[in-house]
């Protein structure tokens, strides 16, 4: 057997066939670019398998892999004619992570590796550019200290600031060689003081340390957070790319930039790029300096620009998708450092997919698959009311990095944002610039505002990925992160102030602006139409009100999968009757109170039916424990006592009696109907009478479905179903109309899934309540689990929140069991899911695979589910 290889040169003929799984995205891209003749600096990839090997060996790289890396460096020396640590023509390399899926900014990069005192001197001599040599060297020491040795960079950053002050300059690039040499000296001394050893001078030692540091960074906190958010398995590992350095910091004929082949914000078909002369890549990405428009390159170096433009178009054509590229110009020579399919906003994704399809580059199936369903969400959320906007003056502006609108109180750090979100507050995260450590805070915020950085800065890239409103580079905003204040002109804003940010225009407003529904582009309509054409799963909406129902229908819902009746009871004009019902001591009292609720319920259903004419409307009977409806405040308790003609103590006593140890596992759902059949009678009456009235008034057919929640046994279902059917039949007979209604159950208790064969005999439909099913299958409640789930992520027991994405191994197993047994017992059984997983793309794919008939989700998630359903169906065909 041939020995396994862990290192591949970009030029290796086999390399570009190995693909992302082995080489990582960046490595595969570099190999492919090499194979098609794009100018890139030479180098090699250490594979993802080496990463896994590193972890399997207890975070140690085996000697045979180290030998392979050394051999690759020797080859690189031959190819480039340079020498690693050499006394002439020295080879410097960059060491970058490159996972299978793009994880921008999540892992570590080390540039200028190979430098030491000797090499810096050789570079000075050979380039005649001492500033360049020591600028590279000071950068390298800091990155090595920070990334490889995992030390905070704050002290070294301060030395740089002090040096700039001493030199009387503002920008890093204005520093002279003398300053930079002094800085290198300071850095090395600090390195030794902190770590108790000298900065390593052997480039081969530097290299192996850097490679393993990148492997370690696969396991850092921000990478873990990112993976969780993007469903990237820990097992994938990252590859490492070692590439000979080219230098954008060699003076004014050098520079570095990033480019998108089309606009990642709007999808417009023109190259969208930024360029920073005399800089290294990290300066652009970290947002330390705000880059120039690419036109600068065209104006100043037109030949380079022409080559740049041609290469960008060629690469887009080659990859048949919008490309996100990094490039460097070294003394007038252009190099591309990487290319990948670009992250994009939802609108851009839609437009690009349609355009590429129209350009004949991709098929309609591919166009559908090109739009990530989870991105759509951002499109569908409200923006600011344009009329109000017209009359409102922005207090400042910045770059519109990620579209949408957000309103919230200011949070100045990630931790504060997360804590306040947890406490129920809406916050906007305001930072000078963001770094990967801020991810948790970005997730928790309504939107993100940074004072620095460009459209490709960390904040911008990450926010777009999240579909979260973001403004960057708002230079007029002065942020004091320590004092927790934001200053605009003379006005100071604190954590108590509310701001509104418009990620589509880049404008920032004081106070809360009213939000309105989004208007969707024709691209959205085209992609959704194609999605509908290519999906099997039906999509319904979870809607408790006529307004929700209207939203859902307008977003393409094909019915209501879950109409919760309990929210209706909370309205001020009915909660009182509800409480009266709950505190009733006799059946007669209870029936009397229910009869007062009946007209409200009937009217609610009537209006919902009118929105959903001709579609199925699934109404769930009362679900939560009754004590949720009871008053907490003495004033309300007193009012209740008066109405019930008992004293306040008695009301307290009755409330006390309803107390439950574990309300989630208490007297709720179908159990209420078993104890108080009159509740089922009232609700059935409202459902059926409303349907009869709506049929009569509209002349259209109404399809009510009555759903009995929390069932655990067929006898329990039958007991309540018999009450429902008896009530319904009598009302229908009395009306003289025809009405088709269905009675089914939720499958949300493990026992119901296990006994689905029996239950299916009495049910016309199952709707999986995956929220409760997850709670019971895991044995923990969603509310309480927030306290320990973070520990589970940290211990790497969980990689996903099972309440967000369905747990296929456990909960999914119960879903499969229920589907198989249910269908076997009742071939006409209709199957859906109405838990929150119904709007999660990964979960939708699972539900498609097990053969459900529909998913149901919240109104704004309906398009997401429609597209996810198409993805699920198309991916099956690809397989």
Q: Which residues contribute to the site for a copy of itself (CB under 8 A)?
A: 660-667, 671, 674-675, 710, 712-713, 715-716, 719, 748-751, 754-755, 772, 775-781, 783-785, 787-788, 791-792, 795-798, 807, 809-811, 813-814
Q: At what angle do helices 373-380 and 841-849 cross, to 10 degrees?
A: 130
**Cβ nearer to a copy of itself, comparing 290 with 771:** 771
| Helices then strands, each counted (H, E), the chain | 38, 33
DSSP annotation string for 450-515 = ESS--TTSHHHHHHHHHT-EEEE--TTEEEETTTTEEEETTEEE-TT-EEEEETTTTEEEESPPPE
Q: Cβ contacts of residue 272 below 8 Å, gap of 6+?
A: 259, 260, 261, 262, 263, 264, 265, 455
Q: Strand, helix or coil at 742?
A: strand
Q: Cβ contacts of residue 437 below 8 Å, gap of 6+?
A: 221, 222, 414
- Closest C-alpha to 365, from 873, 879, 861: 873
**458 an active-site residue?**
yes
**Cβ nearer to a copy of itself, comparing 532 with 757:** 757
Q: Strand, helix or coil at 173?
A: helix
The tokens for 704 are: 């009510």
| Cα–Cα distance measured from residue 47 to residue 237, given in angstroms and rounded to the nearest whole number | 9
**Cβ nearer to a copy of itself, comparing 661 with 827:** 661
**Cβ nearer to a copy of itself, comparing 705 with 772:** 772
H-type alpha helices, 81-200 = 117-127, 130-143, 154-167, 177-195
Tell the smallest beta-carbon distance from residue 566 to a copy of itself (Å).
17
255 by Cβ neighbours in 10 Å (0-12 / 13-18 / 19+) ranks as buried
Tell the smallest beta-carbon distance from residue 421 to a copy of itself (Å).
18
| Cα–Cα distance measured from residue 803 to residue 401, given in angstroms and rounded to the nearest whole number | 30
| Cα–Cα distance measured from residue 773 to residue 375, given in angstroms and rounded to the nearest whole number | 27
Contact 642, 651 (CB under 8 A): no
Tell the smallest beta-carbon distance from residue 779 to a copy of itself (Å).
4
Q: Cα dihedral angle (329, 330, 332, 336), rounded to 10 degrees?
A: -40
Beta bridge partners of 408: 499
The tokens for 327 are: 């490039």
Tell the smallest beta-carbon distance from residue 814 to a copy of itself (Å).
7
| Cα–Cα distance measured from residue 626 to residue 304, given in angstroms and rounded to the nearest whole number | 72
| Cα–Cα distance measured from residue 587 to residue 446, given in angstroms and rounded to the nearest whole number | 48
Tell the smallest beta-carbon distance from residue 763 to a copy of itself (Å).
16
- Closest C-alpha to 375, from 440, 478, 466, 462: 466
Q: What is the DSSP-derived secondary structure letter of residue 371?
A: S
57 by Cβ neighbours in 10 Å (0-12 / 13-18 / 19+) ranks as exposed
**Cβ nearer to a copy of itself, comparing 543 with 672:** 672
Tell the smallest beta-carbon distance from residue 751 to a copy of itself (Å).
4
| Cα–Cα distance measured from residue 167 to residue 182, given in angstroms and rounded to the nearest whole number | 11
- Closest C-alpha to 8, from 53, 50, 52, 38: 50
Catalytic residue among 458, 703, 837, 871: 458
Tell the smallest beta-carbon distance from residue 590 to a copy of itself (Å).
14
| Cα–Cα distance measured from residue 251 to residue 278, given in angstroms and rounded to the nearest whole number | 5
**Cβ nearer to a copy of itself, comparing 454 with 835:** 835
Tell the smallest beta-carbon distance from residue 272 to a copy of itself (Å).
43
Contact 865, 855 (CB under 8 A): yes
| Cα–Cα distance measured from residue 845 to residue 827, given in angstroms and rounded to the nearest whole number | 23
Q: Sign (positive/negative) of CA torsion 755, 759, 761, 766?
A: negative
Tell the smallest beta-carbon distance from residue 450 to a copy of itself (Å).
34
**Cβ nearer to a copy of itself, comparing 325 with 747:** 747
Q: What are phi and psi of 834, to 5 degrees?
A: -130, 10
Q: How many CB atoms are closer than 10 A to CB 475? A: 12
**Cβ nearer to a copy of itself, comparing 675 with 698:** 675
**Cβ nearer to a copy of itself, comparing 312 with 583:** 583
Tell the smallest beta-carbon distance from residue 672 to a copy of itself (Å).
8
Phi-psi region of 779 (alpha: psi -120 to 50; beta: other; left: phi over 0): left
Phi-psi region of 114 (alpha: psi -120 to 50; beta: other; left: phi over 0): left
The tokens for 262 are: 């089309």
Tell the smallest beta-carbon distance from residue 619 to a copy of itself (Å).
21
**Cβ nearer to a copy of itself, comparing 560 with 711:** 711
Q: Cβ contacts of residue 864 below 8 Å, gap of 6+?
A: 373, 374, 376, 377, 380, 839, 841, 857
**Cβ nearer to a copy of itself, comparing 750 with 822:** 750
Tell the smallest beta-carbon distance from residue 20 to a copy of itself (Å).
26
**Cβ nearer to a copy of itself, comparing 639 with 664:** 664
Catalytic residue among 834, 837, 857, 871: 834
| Cα–Cα distance measured from residue 324 to residue 312, given in angstroms and rounded to the nearest whole number | 9
Tell the smallest beta-carbon distance from residue 665 to a copy of itself (Å).
4
**Cβ nearer to a copy of itself, comparing 154 with 797:** 797
Question: Hey, which residues are catalytic here?
Answer: 458, 834
């Amino acid at each position: 057997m041939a020995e396994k290889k862990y290192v591949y040169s970009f030029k290796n003929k086999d390399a570009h066939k190995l693909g992302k799984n082995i080489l990582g995205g960046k490595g595969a891209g570099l190999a492919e670019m090499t194979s098609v003749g794009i100018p890139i600096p030479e180098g090699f990839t250490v594979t993802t398998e080496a990463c896994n090997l590193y972890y399997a060996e207890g975070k140690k790289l085996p000697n045979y892999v180290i030998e392979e890396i050394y051999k690759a460096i020797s080859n690189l020396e031959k190819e480039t004619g340079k020498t690693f640590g050499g006394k002439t023509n020295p080879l410097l390399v960059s060491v970058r992570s490159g996972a299978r899926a793009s994880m921008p900014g999540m892992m570590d990069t080390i540039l200028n590796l190979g430098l030491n005192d000797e090499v810096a001197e050789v570079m000075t001599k050979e380039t005649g550019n001492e500033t360049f040599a020591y600028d590279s060297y000071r950068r390298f020491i800091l990155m090595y200290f920070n990334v490889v040795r995992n030390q905070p960079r704050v002290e070294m950053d301060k030395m740089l600031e002090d040096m700039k002050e001493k030199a009387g300059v503002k920008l890093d690039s204005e520093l002279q060689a003398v300053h930079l040499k002094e800085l290198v000296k300071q850095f090395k001394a600090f390195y030794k003081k902190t770590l108790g050893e000298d900065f390593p001078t052997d480039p081969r030692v530097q290299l192996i340390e850097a490679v393993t540091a990148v492997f370690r960074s696969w396991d850092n906190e921000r990478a873990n957070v990112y993976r969780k958010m993007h469903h990237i398995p820990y097992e994938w590992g990252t590859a490492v790319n070692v590439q000979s350095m080219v230098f954008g910091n060699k003076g004014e004929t050098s520079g570095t930039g990033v480019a998108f082949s089309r606009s990642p914000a709007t999808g417009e078909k023109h190259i969208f790029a930024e360029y920073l002369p005399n800089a290294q890549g990290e300066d652009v990405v970290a947002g330390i300096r705000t880059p120039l428009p690419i036109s600068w390159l065209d104006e100043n170096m037109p030949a380079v620009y022409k080559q740049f433009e041609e290469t960008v178009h060629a690469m887009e054509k080659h990859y048949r998708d919008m490309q996100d590229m990094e490039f460097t110009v070294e003394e007038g020579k252009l190099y591309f450092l990487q290319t990948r399919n670009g992250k994009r906003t939802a609108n851009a994704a839609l437009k690009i997919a349609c355009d590429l399809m129209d350009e004949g580059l991709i098929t309609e199936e591919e166009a559908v698959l090109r739009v990530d369903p989870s991105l759509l969400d951002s499109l569908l959320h409200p923006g600011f009311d344009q009329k109000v906007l017209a009359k409102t003056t922005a207090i400042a502006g910045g770059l519109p990095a990620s579209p949408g609108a957000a309103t919230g109180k200011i949070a100045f750090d990630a931790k504060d944002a997360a804590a306040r979100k947890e406490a129920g507050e809406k916050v906007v995260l305001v930072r000078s610039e963001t770094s990967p450590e801020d991810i948790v805070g970005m997730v928790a915020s309504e939107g993100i505002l940074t004072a620095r950085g460009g459209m490709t800065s960390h904040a911008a890239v990450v926010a777009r990925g999240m579909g979260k409103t973001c403004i960057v580079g708002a230079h007029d905003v002065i942020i004091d992160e320590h004092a927790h204040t934001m200053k605009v002109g003379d006005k100071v804003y604190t954590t108590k102030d509310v701001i509104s940010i418009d990620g589509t225009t880049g404008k920032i407003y004081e106070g809360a602006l009213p939000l309105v529904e989004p208007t969707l582009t024709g691209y959205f309509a085209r992609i959704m139409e194609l999605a509908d054409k290519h999906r099997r799963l039906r999509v319904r909406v979870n809607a408790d009100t006529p307004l929700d129902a209207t939203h859902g229908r307008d977003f393409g819902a094909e019915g209501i999968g879950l109409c919760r009746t309990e929210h209706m009871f909370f309205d001020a004009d009915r909660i009182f009757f509800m409480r009266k019902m709950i505190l009733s001591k006799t059946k007669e009292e209870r029936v009397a109170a229910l009869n007062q609720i009946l007209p409200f319920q009937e009217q609610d259903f009537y209006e919902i039916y009118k929105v959903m004419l001709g579609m199925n409307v699934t109404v769930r009977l009362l679900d939560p424990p009754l004590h949720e409806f009871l008053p907490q405040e003495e004033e309300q308790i007193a009012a209740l006592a008066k109405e019930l003609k008992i004293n306040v103590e008695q009301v307290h006593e009755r409330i006390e009696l309803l107390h439950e140890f574990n309300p989630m596992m208490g007297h709720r759902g179908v159990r209420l109907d078993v104890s108080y059949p009159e509740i089922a009678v009232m609700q059935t009456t409202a459902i059926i009478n409303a349907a009869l009235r709506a049929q009569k008034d509209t002349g259209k057919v109404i399809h009510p479905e009555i759903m009995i929640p929390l069932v655990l046994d067929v006898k329990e279902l039958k007991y309540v179903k018999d009450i429902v059917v008896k009530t319904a039949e009598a009302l229908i007979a009395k009306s003289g109309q025809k009405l088709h209604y269905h009675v089914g159950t939720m499958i949300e208790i493990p026992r119901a899934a296990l006994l689905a064969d029996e239950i299916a005999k009495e049910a016309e439909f199952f709707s999986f309540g995956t929220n409760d099913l997850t709670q019971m299958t895991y044995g923990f409640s969603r509310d309480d689990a927030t306290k320990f789930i973070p520990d589970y992520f940290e211990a790497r027991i969980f990689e996903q929140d099972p309440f967000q994405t369905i747990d296929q191994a456990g909960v999914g197993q119960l879903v499969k069991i229920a589907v198989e047994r249910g269908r076997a017992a009742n071939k006409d059984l209709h199957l859906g899911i109405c838990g929150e997983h119904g709007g999660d793309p990964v979960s939708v794919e699972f539900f498609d695979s097990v053969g459900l008939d529909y998913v149901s989700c919240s109104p704004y998630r309906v398009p997401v589910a429609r597209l996810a359903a198409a993805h699920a169906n198309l991916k099956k065909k690809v397989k």
